Amino acid sequence: MTSIGLIGLGNIGLPIAKVLIDAGHEVLGYRRSASTDFEEIGGRRVGSSREVAEGADVILCCISGDDALRDVIGGENGVASGDCTGKIVVELSTLSTEVKREQLLRLQAKGGMMLDSAISGLPPMVTARTAVYLLSGDEAAYEQARPVIEILTDRPCFMGVFGAALNTKLCANMLVAANIASTAETLAFGTKLGLDPDRLIAALRDGAGGSVQFSARAGRMAHGDWEKVLASTDILLKDILLIEKRGGDLNMQMPVLSSTRPFYEKAIAEGYGGKDVSAVYAVFAEAAGLPTPNKNGDTDK
């Protein structure tokens, strides 16, 4: 049994842990908040990211923001606060390349290495091992971490130099943002035309316009089922802003992506930031003069 480290036990980290545990590996996990759900599936919780690194040579990291990465890698009890000789951090979060590179240098100074990585897929896809894992950076480090990644997916994609995985994920999330907004607009349009939403979704799901996001979220939009969060509106807007910043740095216009941002911003302003991103449908429904599903917190399933 191999010990594998995992920092971050949220919507993506927890299903990663389950796949590893089910495959017979010990998972040492650290989460800055409570993590009884991790222990319930057989994980071994430790008290800091440094303790994770002390017990595992390959550490997967799934955290929410740049400051969190600085803390778990370069903080007082971070991975880089100890000897990192032979350690590889597979950093899977959608964060700025600058901050990832900054923490890579901290690890290298202690003998370790970081791969810039990302996951394209929803939590159920992670559990089913169908998510695509994107990795980039030092190729020798990738080969060392690859046996762990291949436990998690049959679809690892090595993208090249450090930063290429994040850039690929930004491209993926451009499609996600536009797709979810388009799904919401289409559902509102069809409902306004007098079509039964469930019949409409069944007709479109496997047709030319169907997609992973449509299948995952159209039904939830129709019934206001956005309390169980696959990915929050807050997180997707963070990614949209990161993509737009990159586009600005390249002097590139992004009219399709930029046209979706106000809808996500309005959804957040109306209190849907912490809800699943399917809640953006409420904004489109309101604009179309349609009733908003789950307006009073009651989900019609």
Say if residues 69 and 99 touch (Cβ distance below 8 Å).
yes
C-alpha–C-alpha distance, residues 67 and 99, integer Å: 9
* Catalytic one of 169, 266, 275, 295: 169
Alpha helices in the chain (DSSP H): 13-22, 36-40, 49-55, 66-74, 97-109, 123-127, 139-152, 164-192, 197-205, 212-223, 233-249, 255-267, 281-287
- Residue 129 CB neighbours (<10 A): 17
Is 169 labeled as catalytic in the residue annotation? Answer: yes
Among residues 85, 57, 91, which one has the least CA distance to residue 73? 91
Q: Which residue has the tokens 């047709």?
A: 207
Pairing of strands 113-120, 132-136: antiparallel
Residues pairing with 222 in the sheet: none
Among residues 116, 176, 131, 95, which one has the least CA distance to residue 16? 131
Q: Which residue has the tokens 């809800």?
A: 275
Residues carrying an active site annotation: 169
